[in-house]
Structure 1
Amino acid sequence: MTPEHQAAIASLAQQINLSDPGSILRFGQEAQNRAQAAADAMLEGAKNQETGEAGRTLSSLLTTLRGFDVTNLDEKPGFFARIFTKAGAEVSGIITKYESVKGQIETIGDKLDTHRTRLLEDVERLERLYAATLEWFHALGDHIAAGDAVLQRTNAHTIPALEKQVAENTGDDLAPQRLRDLRGARDELERRVHDLRLTRQVAMQALPSIRLIQENDKALSSKIHSVLANTVPLWRQQLAQALAIHRMREAGAAVKEATDLTNRLLTANAETLRRGNQEARTELERGVFDLEAVQKANAALVATIEDSLKIADEARGQRERAAEELAKLEEDIRRVLMQAKSSAQSKPNG
């Protein structure tokens, strides 16, 4: 302790009069009241809705940003989408939606900026509250030190001296009562110092609590600033990049289609030339008659001759059989005629 600090504690100790119970009850009461005021201020800070409202507004902004998705511009459209979607319609829709969302983001951004200003004001107020609480904490410590000094002096000197006086029976009939009152005042001072210690413990707990609330406010304020300074501009930059990439992809697709068409035309022309040349050279290299045609004609001629010979043979056999049959028929007719002639000659003689 510095001499000035020791002198301040000694001054506080002089405020304690063990013969006056009121001085014991009043001792440290002002410091306790200031600690109570600090606790009340902390409670008001805890009930402050600014932090919760700022957090909800920040969440609303982030939800709005996430809801506006431009990643689908990086996807290649399907076959039917390319047929039924007009050129630029998708980009126009994205831009229209952006204009709508932009107004929402600006409104939420203004609210966040207001919240940030109030949070910074709360940080400054909490800083003053912390300094006041720390001052009161030290004041309580000084009162406790002063009370301990009085208790030590009372236990070490005042009470033993009065006990000796009572023991020696000096004829002072009120000495025992004064001893009893002194002991009661000492006990009351001990309880008072104990209460001051409890109050100082509350003040000690308030210090980190104040810092915690202050750090949360500063962190939220910093987060709001980061979102407004970084997230929103980056979101707009992402949109611009996505649109630029989309248009670049469309241009690249057009160039690719033109290149593919050129390649298909070159390939088709080469294939057509090849087929035409093949057909022409094939016809040019053919003879007057195809060997296959000659072979077929020869086979047909051979078959025709063979059929003619076969038919002639069959006709010859049929004629021979017919001649034999005719000869038999002629013989039958002769026999019948001969029989008829014999019958006619035999009838007159009878």
Structure 2
Amino acid sequence: MAEEKIVLTLNEEVEEEKKVEMPEIPQNSYSEEDILTEEQKKQVDEFVKQIDLTQSNVVLQYGSAAQRKIANFSDNTLQSVKTKDLGETGEMLSDLIVELKGFDAIETEQKGIAAFFKKQSNKASALKSKYDAAEKNVDRIVHSLEDHQIQLMKDIELLDQLYEKNMTNFKELTMYILAGKKKLKEVRENELPVLIEKAQRSGLAEDSQKANDLAGLCERFEKKIYDLELTRNVALQMGPQIRLVQNNDTLMTEKIQSTIVNTILLWKSQMVIALGLHHSQQAIKAQQAVDEMTNSLLRKNADTLKQATIEVARESEKGIVDIETLKHTNSQLISTLDEVVKIQDEGRQKRQEAEMELARIEAELKNKLLEIHK
């Protein structure tokens, strides 16, 4: 893009701003003329000839048009920065991450075959509904992010234009400063000494006043040039400031692009895989539940069969009458016989004793009767 031609003027009016392409300001130490083209250097030399420091109005208005451009430019730049809200974009990115993390395609299953089949009957539709709800929120956030991305890209282009215009204003101020310094040096080295010498020779108050007026105008003009240098320093600082804002916009644009292209794509791919594998997972889990129940039944049946078989075998090996029972019966029978014999012996002994006692009693009775009859 061709560089905008800068027109130096002693007029206070500010020309309409135009978009121009300018090189960056050198950051190292440099001569003020180094940033000017040969044509612009010639323009400065020509402009020096137009400056008349004997005119108070020229000193007052010198460079004011360029200063006013800087002021207007600063207002426009500030307004463009204030209208952007990167915080809102950051909040949307945070909301998006929360939404993505909040969706989990894998849920903890209830244990047991009955609970499994009861829950699995509705899980597929529930998972799909959950995914649809999450996808709706994600798409809404993505749409807002895309709108912000478009606005950020426009802002980046606008900041490029602002940066270029700031460089033009910087160069224009430099040209005014250079022209002013050259004119000031020329007047102080040539015109002012002539007036001073004339005043000294003539001794007239009029000549002395002219020399004093010109010296005062030089002082005012020097202060005006210094004021322009301060304004130029503001323009110098605005260059990197604009680039910093532009860099932030660029980083946020790239972040949005990466999120939309990579993060969302991976999330949707994951969900498609999860939904695609859902039925396979159902079959695997159902088979596992059936296998677990089958194994459990087999173990229980084996335990029951073992117990019944042992009991049957044990009972089949027993006799009709248990030997212990016979031993007990025989022991009781022998004891009974012993008791009977003992009782019989005791009865026999008691009868013998009774017979002996009966014989004694009878003999005693007989003896008594014989004593009576004597």
TM-score (norm 1): 0.79
Per-residue deviation at 1:198? 1.2
For residues 1-350 of structure 1, what are the structure 2 equivalents within 5 Å? 1=34, 2-49=37-84, 51-67=86-102, 69-73=103-107, 75-79=108-112, 82=115, 85-167=118-200, 169-257=201-289, 259=291, 293-294=322-323, 296=324, 299-300=327-328, 303-304=331-332, 306-327=334-355, 329-330=357-358, 333-334=361-362, 337=365, 341=369, 345=373
Are the structure 2 counterparts of residues 341 and 154 from structure 1 closer, same or farther at C-alpha, using a change threshold of 3 Å? Answer: farther
Q: Is contact 1:51–1:119 with CA below 8 Å preserved after alignment?
A: no
Amino acid in structure 2 at the alignment position of 1:204:
L
Q: Is contact 2:112–2:289 with CA below 8 Å preserved after alignment?
A: no
Q: Which deviations, in whole Å up to 9, do the C-alpha atoms of 1:290-309 show, x marking residues without a partner? A: 9x955x36634652464145
Cα distance in 2 between the residues matched to 1:210 and 1:89: 57
Per-residue deviation at 1:201? 1.4
Per-residue deviation at 1:79? 4.1
Cα distance in 1 between the residues matched to 2:229 and 2:51: 17
Q: Which deviations, in whole Å up to 9, do the C-alpha atoms of 1:249-300 show, x marking residues without a partner? A: 222223334555666687788888888988898899x6x969x955x36634
Are the structure 2 counterparts of residues 304 and 103 from structure 1 closer, same or farther at C-alpha, using a change threshold of 3 Å? Answer: closer
Per-residue deviation at 1:83? 5.0
Q: Is contact 2:105–2:127 with CA below 8 Å preserved after alignment?
A: no
Cα distance in 1 between the residues matched to 2:137 and 2:329: 98
User: How many aligned residue pairs are there?
Assistant: 339
Per-residue deviation at 1:331? 5.3
Amino acid in structure 1 at the alignment position of 2:183:
V
Give the secondary structure class of the aligned counterpart of 1:225.
helix
Which runs of no fewer than 5 residues in structure 2 stay unpaired? 1-33
Which runs of no fewer than 5 residues in structure 1 stay unpaired? none
Moved more, 96-105 or 333-342: 333-342
Amino acid in structure 1 at the alignment position of 2:331:
A
Cα distance in 2 between the residues matched to 1:36 and 1:80: 78
Higher helix share: 1
Q: Is contact 1:151–1:190 with CA below 8 Å preserved after alignment?
A: yes
Per-residue deviation at 1:137? 1.0
Cα distance in 1 between the residues matched to 2:289 and 2:117: 18
Identity %: 27
**Aligned-pair Cα RMSD in Å:** 3.7
Are the structure 2 counterparts of residues 3 and 252 from structure 1 closer, same or farther at C-alpha, using a change threshold of 3 Å? Answer: same
Give the secondary structure class of the aligned counterpart of 1:17.
coil
Are the structure 2 counterparts of residues 159 and 343 from structure 1 closer, same or farther at C-alpha, using a change threshold of 3 Å? Answer: farther
Moved more, 144-153 or 303-312: 303-312
Cα distance in 2 between the residues matched to 1:176 and 1:50: 63
Per-residue deviation at 1:343? 8.1
| Structure ranking higher on relative contact order (CA contacts 8 Å, 6+ apart) | 1
Q: Which deviations, in whole Å up to 9, do the C-alpha atoms of 1:166-202 show, x marking residues without a partner? A: 44x2344322212211221111112111111111111
Give the secondary structure class of the aligned counterpart of 1:174.
helix
Are the structure 2 counterparts of residues 206 and 281 from structure 1 closer, same or farther at C-alpha, using a change threshold of 3 Å? Answer: same
Moved more, 98-107 or 181-190: 98-107
Moved more, 304-313 or 31-40: 304-313
Cα distance in 2 between the residues matched to 1:22 and 1:329: 184
Q: Is contact 2:149–2:253 with CA below 8 Å preserved after alignment?
A: yes
